[in-house]
Amino acid sequence: MVFLENGTVTSPLGFKAAGICAGVKPSNTTKKDIALIVSEKPCSCAAVFTRNLVKSSAITVTQRNIADGTAQAVIVNSGNANTCNADGEQKAERMCELAAEVLGIDKKDVIVASTGVIGQPLPIEPFEKGAAALGKLLSENGGTDAAEAIMTTDTVKKEAAVRFTLGGKEVTMGAVAKGSGMIHINMGTMLSFITTDAAVSAPMLKLALNEAVEQSYNMVSVDGDTSTNDTLTVMANGLAGNEEITEQNEEFRIFADAMTELCKSMAKKLAADGEGATKLLVCRVLGAKTVLDAKGVAKAVICSSLVKSAMFGSDANWGRVLCAVGYSGCDVDVKLIDVAFKSKAGVVEVCKNGAGIDFSEEIAKKVLSENEIEITVNLNDGECGAEAYGCDLTYDYVKINGDYRT
């Protein structure tokens, strides 16, 4: 498997996309705010959504539309979450109708998603005025425009693609995502759409997606808030020509592993672009008794506001790491724990067997001043491991969210 240079959601065969500024966002901006992604033929489809009981109307409509395991297009907007609105479902259905009219497909084959401010009515006029233009701009090179159109407080677009072989056929899988704040374990303010030209049945897509999500998106936290709009979908159109994967065989394992690696790369992009963030934090846990223990410890460390603040200040305050491990609720022996900080500037070991050791504060400062930090926690009590992804907590996070709506 290889990552493609400049890979996008349209890298797989048969997919096109477009993104435009239609006016969903405030009139004083020229930022793109509506995107369309389409396959030239119907796809098998699978999805996962937020676990928040308060959900966007777009999720309700999408769940109905893909209940049969098929989809052909995605229409998505930024600037408005279409959540907690009395006419939310009606607006989401209308978005599907407009996309279907432009594409000449059944509206029930359209995935719809929204992201942005919660509790404000979604204006439908931008969609009615912009749908035709969006359709005309559809292109195999339109993936990046779509990536830009789904951004809210994101500072960079998030897209990638991988290529691998299934049954002697070259297969490509692309992804686009957005997310910067209101991101927490078990999905966040995250929209992500995966496309592939592999032939995979809907049940097998769901299995692969669930597996990938557990090791990637569900291991990301920016601020401890789980959004109302999280939507992650995958569409597979089969144009690569491989024999359809309908069971958990060797080909399924190759496909699922590729999806996992793609999703991990996207998860890191989301974490690195956390609101106000200056550093990507990766907590790597080793030597756990079980995978659940490894995940629990990694999540606790990456979610700790004190750890995140220390990393912002390049302060090797390893006691905060141990503190987070201690309240994680996982089965650990605190007297066995080793902790180290790592970056491209080097490695500094700070704790052995649950106790502090001498280390150079100067070297530690240098290591922690890089923009990607690995916090290694070795529990020395088993063979299991896990990773979680987060970011530092900065002054700018409060500034961004202090006036997000106004």
Q: Which residues of 184-201 are buried (b: 16+ CB within 10 A; e: fewer)?
A: bbbbbbbbbbbbbbbbbb
Characterise 110 by phi-psi region: left (phi > 0), alpha (psi -120 to 50), beta (else).
beta
Distance CA 60, CA 233 (A): 14
Instruction: Please name the residues in contact with 182: beta carbons below 8 A apart, sequence gap of 6 or more.
Output: 188, 189, 222, 223, 225, 226, 227
The residue assigned the tokens 């084959």 is 109
Whether 182 contacts 197, CB under 8 Å: no
Distance CA 303, CA 284 (A): 13
DSSP 108: G
10, 50, 152, 189: the catalytic one is 189
Distance CA 285, CA 271 (A): 18
Whether 43 contacts 72, CB under 8 Å: yes
Backbone angles phi, psi at 228, to 5 degrees: -95, -5
Whether 322 contacts 332, CB under 8 Å: no
| Known catalytic membership, residue 189 | yes
Strand order in the sheet with 346-352: 355-356, 346-352, 338-343, 372-378, 280-288, 384-391
Of 274, 278, 282, the C-alpha closest to 343 is: 282
Distance CA 21, CA 151 (A): 12
Distance CA 346, CA 376 (A): 13
Task: State the catalytic residues.
Answer: 189
